[in-house]
Structure 1
Amino acid sequence: MTEHSYQDITYEEKDHVATITFNRPDRLNAFRGRTYAEVADAVLRAGWNRDIGAIVLTGAGGRAFAVGGDSSEKKSDRVGDGRGMLGIPVEEMQTAIRDVPKPVIAKVRGYAIGSGNVIVTLCDLAIASENAVFGQAGPKVGSVDPGFGTALLARVVGEKKAREFWFLCRKYPAQEALAMGLINQVVPDDQLDEEVDRWCREINDLSPTALAIAKRSFNADSESIRGSGLLAFQALALYFGTAESKEGGDAWRAKRKPDFRGVMP
């Protein structure tokens, strides 16, 4: 995959910073299979470029950072098409963010819901506009992230709060996300770009090798999540084939309340 083949993202290198922008603003930057693959490719491309010191992930359009999976792609149709256990390379994207030896920064405007919230959790640092909103929606639509999106979230915000994210599917404004430790800083929207640039400049003044070792050291403490998550994604692939999971997606597309219990065997 080359820079010119990207359809769902844009990629820019400037001043030793690679900026990867989720570029589906008409869909609130919802992720489809191609999006996951392109983000993984771009993160690896930047992460192993010796001239790059920091990677920034952000969303186009201002209304959303990212809002999870694209509802036009049925989960049950994706499974088994060869692109990861779920039919989409979500594990590859998550691994890329974790494994590249550079700090990855989430620059968040608008909604960071579902997969968007998981990406914020995975990023080494996160800086948000005052208009940012965070949360999970998986159980509303018959889905869940049974790896880093749950277990790593618990390490970031605490066990009780992480369970609240998933068990209630509420939305949390930027200041509340800051207080719980999900993000590092909140700034007015018109100051977000400059604030992220400032953090990147500070990072680029430091030893790249020391930062790489520090990132590896931080990751080592939670690396067991990767293995248990891969096992759980196998179970999730089976779940996506059930009537219960399909009911979530069908209800979302029909804009009605799901009846999960009505379709359970």
Structure 2
Amino acid sequence: MDFEDLLYEVRNGVAWIMINRPEKMNAFRGRTCDELIKALYKAGYDREIGAIVLAGAGERAFCTGGDQSEHDGQYDGRGTIGLPMEELHAAIRDVPKPVIARVQGYAIGGGNVLATICDLTICSDKAVFGQVGPKMGSVDPGYGTAYLARVVGEKKAREIWYLCRRYSGAEAVEMGLANICVPQDELDAEVQKWGEEICERSPTAIAIAKRSFNMDTAHQAGIAGMGMYALKLYYETDESREGVNAFLEKRKPDFRKHAK
């Protein structure tokens, strides 16, 4: 299977899926999302693979969310908002193998959502977590909000979304957003170690455990599906476009002049 935006490699039973857009801080476009979905299902149903790593190329970023240069009221691909986010999030949750987020830099916006949804998150001491949606004229009306509250607690989740602050790897571990924070030069080895340890466990037991963990938040898929339609309508407003325009023009947005 050929990929343009991804690198795909299997290391001793652990599949590494890496967003390969370092010049874009590993921001995803429509094609990236389509390829991630295909790669996740390819690895998820390969009997020779016991764990999956989701990573970003380069030193600077795990993923910084949707590529703003591909966003003008709607992104450049398929799906409700031009990105098949519901399918991508579902793929991470549905494949019967644990998905480990390997965060070496910025996990911002939609990238922060990916790290939240993954079964495990291992980060380096150079990692930076945070949300930017309300600063950019966007929001994740599904797992990125509802499931985040389950992971870090509702008050903290509201802080993350309302204030759009940045959090270190150590702070992410403290709030439950990451499992462990290690020095940058030890990150790949630590991620591979966790993956190989999972490979030694019963794959059927792991698959059942993952389904069980996800069961009581399965309803959030319906919330996400409905929320994406609301988000599509929001993206068509001047208020939302102000966030994109301000980002591209490198200025502070003025949302309130467009709010109705």
TM-score of the aligned structures, taking structure 1 as reference length: 0.96
Instruction: Provide the aligned C-alpha RMSD in A.
Output: 1.1
The answer for the alignment partner of 1:112 in structure 2 is 107
Letter in 2 for 1:31: F
Task: Confirm whether residue 93 of structure 1 aligns to residue 107 of structure 2.
Answer: no
Task: Confirm whether residue 45 of structure 1 aligns to residue 42 of structure 2.
Answer: yes
Aligned length: 260
* Aligned ranges 1:35-74 → 2 under 5 Å: 35-74=32-71
Runs of 4+ in 1 over 6 A off after TM superposition: none
* Aligned ranges 1:1-265 → 2 under 5 Å: 3-4=1-2, 6-78=3-75, 83-265=78-260
Identity of aligned residues (%): 58
How far is the alpha carbon of 1:198 from its aligned partner? 1.0
Distance 1:205 1:77, change over 3 A: closer
For structure 1, list consecutive stretches of 5 or more residues without a partner in the other structure.
none
Secondary structure at the residue paired with 1:50? coil
- Contact 2:128 2:169 survives alignment (8 Å): yes
How far is the alpha carbon of 1:75 from its aligned partner? 4.1
Letter in 1 for 2:95: V
Distance 1:77 1:217, change over 3 A: closer
TM-score of the aligned structures, taking structure 2 as reference length: 0.98
How far is the alpha carbon of 1:212 from its aligned partner? 0.1
How far is the alpha carbon of 1:92 from its aligned partner? 1.1
How far is the alpha carbon of 1:14 from its aligned partner? 2.3
Secondary structure at the residue paired with 2:70? coil
| 1:156-203 superposed Cα distances (whole Å, 9 cap, x missing partner) | 000000001110000000000000000000111111111111111110
